[in-house]
Structure 1
Amino acid sequence: MGRSKEFEESVVLQKAMELFWEQGYEKTSMSDLVEHMGIHRRSLYDTFGDKHTLFLKALDYFAEFMNAKLKSETSHAETAKQSIQFIFDLMIEGAGDSHWGCLFVNSAAELALRDMEVNEKTEKAFIRTEHLLENLIRKGQQTGEFSCDYDAEVLAESLHNTLLGIRLLARTTASKDKLHRIADFSLALLNK
């Protein structure tokens, strides 16, 4: 009879996600993961497989985490503009003092060109964000909140590009004031 797990899988997966988020894939060793997750090496392998499989699961966990945060943040918005502002604020303020940036952006920069599975997951996340922005822009255009001078898809691509840059800059010493100025300038494109 096998032993029962002595840990909550989602808790240790979150710890793995945080370590990959902070250090990146290449810099994170299996020893780092065992120590940070607080589980035995054998349990890690039995539950999550190898480091690459664990990393892919951590990316999925991050996707769920971010989707829940985005849904929570935008559910309080009364307008499309508020929803988009909340998204930008989350990307700027949500990083806290960690300067970790975004796990998807970090992973795309580190691995996407040589790891098709990572590329697929990051691309899917980027497309999902673009579609969210496009839907919000269309809503704002339909209600007269936003200008109809530009196609919603093009505006969403431009705003998403700005979000990607902000998520990358959040990993540096760039000030939050600077990130907010960049966001405000890009959001001004939506105005009538």
Structure 2
Amino acid sequence: MARYKEFEVNEVLDKAVQLFWMQGYEKTSMQELVDFMGIHRRSIYDTFGDKHALFMNALKRYEAIQSNEMRLLVEKQEPVKELIRQFFEYSLEKEGEPQGCFIVNSGVELGVLDPEVSSFVEDSYSKMEKSLYNLILFGQQTGEIKARLDPEALSHYFMNVWLGLRTMVKTATNQEKLSGIINTALSILD
């Protein structure tokens, strides 16, 4: 007879996201995952697989949440330049969460060591660039962004700014500096 799961998968997966995000993959032990997630080791293996499979599931869960938040941002009825500003500022205002971005952190930690993580991170970055590209293109169609600007080059540029902010926020304490970076990046649209 099959046993009933005594936990909600996404709730415990969110806990795995938090622990991996705080400590990274290499510094997180299975025992720490068991303790932090509040489920038995056997349940982790039965539900997610080994530590690496759990990590990949955590990355996918985080990306899905981030994608949904980006979708909600884009659906706002606000000027495109303001939406891009909010996209950048969102990177800085994650109170109660670990610093930086779980996907960016994972790419830095494991990108050259783990082909599966590298491929996932690259794909995730491509999706984000595509969202930025579509937002910029929409801004050009509505006349908010100059048509002479290359939307693909802008999406690459803004992605680079976003990655920089997601990395800098881990150590930067000067919020004015980070805001200045955002203002300078957006000035390209003026």
Task: Look up the match of 2:110.
Answer: 111
In 2, distance between residues paired with 1:174 and 1:149? 37
**In structure 2, what residue type is equivalent to 1:82?**
E
Q: Which amino acid aligns with 1:68?
A: N
Looking at structure 2, the residues matched to 118 and 99 of structure 1 have their Cα atoms a distance apart, in angstroms, of 20
TM-score by length of 2: 0.94
Question: Matched residues in 2 for 1:114 and 1:54: separation?
Answer: 17
Report sequence identity in percent: 43
| AA partner of residue 57 (structure 2) | K
Aligned residue number for residue 73 of structure 1 = 73
- The aligned residue for residue 173 of structure 1 is 172
The 8 Å contact of residues 112 and 118 in structure 1, kept in 2 or not, is answered as yes
What is the letter of the counterpart of residue 165 of structure 1?
G
Kindly state the Cα deviation for residue 81 of structure 1 after the two structures are TM-superposed. Answer: 1.4
Contact 2:133/2:155, CA 8 A, preserved across alignment = yes
What is the Cα deviation at residue 177 of structure 1?
2.5
Residue type of the alignment partner of 1:169: M
Gaps of 5+ in 2: none
Aligned amino acid, residue 45 of structure 2: Y
Measure the CA separation in 2 of the matches of 1:176 and 1:60. 30
Shift of 1:176: 2.7
2:183 aligns with 184
How many pairs does the alignment contain? 190
Partner of 2:92, secondary structure, is helix
Q: Deviations over 1:53-84 (max 9, x none)?
A: 00000000001110111122232242221221
Alpha-carbon distance, 1:90 to partner: 1.1
Larger mean CA deviation between 18-27 and 132-141 belongs to 132-141
Q: Take 2:143 and 2:132, find their aligned partners in 1: how far apart are those partners?
A: 16
Partner Cα separation in structure 1 for residue 173 and residue 127 of structure 2: 26
Asked if residue 124 in structure 1 is aligned to residue 117 in structure 2, the reply is no
Q: What is the distance in 1 between the residues matched to 2:13 and 2:178?
A: 30
* Contact 2:30–2:51 (8 Å) recurs in 1: yes
CA displacement, residues 30-55 of structure 1 (integer Å, 9 cap, x when unaligned)? 01100000001111111111000000
Contact 1:74 1:86 in 2 (8 A): no
Q: Does the Cα contact within 8 Å between 2:18 and 2:98 map onto a contact in 1? A: no
Structure 1 residue 114: Cα displacement: 1.4
Aligned to 1:157: 156
Give RMSD over aligned pairs: 1.4
Check the 8 A contact 1:74/1:87 in 2, yes or no: no
Q: Which amino acid aligns with 1:126?
A: Y
For structure 1, the residue ranges without an aligned partner over 5 or more in a row are none
Q: Which residue of 2 aligns with 1:6?
A: 6
> TM-score, length-normalised on structure 1?
0.94
SS at match of 2:91: helix
